[in-house]
Amino acid sequence: MKARIFAAALAATVLSTLSGGAVAQNYPKRPVEMVIPFGVGGASDIFARQYAQIVEKYLGKPLVAVNKGGAGTIEGLLHAFGAPADGYTVLEITPSLLIVEAQNKSSVKFRKEFEPIMKVQSDVVLFGVSAKSNYKTLDDLLAFAKANPKKLKIGGLSPGGLDDYIANGFARAAGIQWTYVPYKSGSELKAAVLGGELDVYQDKLISFMSLMSGGDVRPLVVLNDKRLDVPALKDVPSSVEKKIDFTQGSWRGFVVKKGTPEPVKKILIEAFQKAYDDPAYKEMEKKEMTNLVPGYMKADDFRKSWDAEFEGYSTVFKELGLVKQK
């Protein structure tokens, strides 16, 4: 009996290996869909489309971008989950997918249902104030916030999203309380800062620099473990330097549905890796200033990072009452 069971198991393994090999030999035989869980024109959309053009050179077939930006990335998540696990659907991800799971917003649990290809880049977030603000330093701002809980207003995009987490996660680490105000678009957020509607401005580096270069905003802190190697920011302290252990930014990577054949996944990982090493991408990240902090992670390390980040989101959102209990 044991011999028959062993023989059956061995046969199943061999058949699975041969089947996977056969699939890989014919893969890809048609265009691969890249699902972008955001609308057209945003930073993540632009990045994914540019990166897809580089990946195509090594994959041998078009990587077709499809925007599914509804319901705070849930539409894109469900679309990718509903597709076969055959390697013809790749999902771009950011911290938003982990946040959706942390808040129990979707019946599809991201970490359980998807497997990583790689993490490509990280974005640094800065906090600042209008150039007309009375707060000249981070210490000035924190002193007022501690003496006046919830009086300061900090803006961001969408309630319960990454900006919400960053604003309140930083406040928690700094021992202060302020009021988070969500806006529908980056342009509305910037107008609110410049118009005096908000006290504190948060944004990713490249967008922050566009306002800073025009003299409209004053940077107060970089959410990072050290100062950035950017001449215009050489005098801006990091959060860790100010004894605030909070460095959350944004990041971007790619996944496939769990169950995708290993040989197929290997082909995708190799193509995405070659794109990452391509001079065209190196020029792209230099231009977008996404090469200032380590962002790259191979599949195994990327997967491990999800759990730690998920726990951070869960803790803060529970405190904010934003977690939907089962």
Give the span between the Cα atoms of 321 and 134, in whole angstroms.
32
The answer, yes or no, to whether residue 326 has pLDDT greater than 60, is no
> Among candidates 139, 138, 143, 168, which has minimal Cα distance to 153?
168
Angstrom CA distances, 235 to 29, 205, 210, 228, 230, stand at: 53, 15, 18, 9, 10
- Give the global pTM: 0.83
What is the 3-state composition of the chain as percent helix, strand, coil, each rounded to the nearest 5?
45, 20, 35
7 CB-near residues (< 8 Å, 6+ apart): none
The answer, yes or no, to whether residue 167 has pLDDT greater than 70, is yes
Average pLDDT score over residue span 161-174:
94
Determine contact, residues 165/317, Cβ cutoff 8 Å: yes
List Cβ<8 Å contacts ≥24 apart for 294-300: 294/122, 295/119, 295/120, 295/121, 295/122, 295/251, 296/118, 296/119, 296/120, 296/121, 297/118, 297/119, 297/253, 298/118, 299/115, 299/116, 299/117, 299/118, 299/269, 300/116
Structural domains in the chain plus CATH codes: 29-122+249-319 (3.40.190.150), 125-233 (3.40.190.10)
DSSP 3-state of 261:
coil
* pLDDT tens sequence across 18-36: 454 555 678 999 999 999 9
Give the span between the Cα atoms of 289 and 281, in whole angstroms.
12
List Cβ<8 Å contacts ≥24 apart for 158-162: 158/72, 158/182, 159/322, 160/72, 160/99, 160/103, 160/317, 160/322, 161/72, 161/96, 161/99, 162/94, 162/95, 162/96, 162/99, 162/250
* pLDDT tens sequence across 229-285: 999 999 999 999 999 999 999 999 999 999 999 999 999 999 999 999 999 999 999
Q: Specify the range with the lowest mean pLDDT, choosing from 102-111, 145-154, 317-326.
A: 317-326
Give the span between the Cα atoms of 127 and 239, in whole angstroms.
10
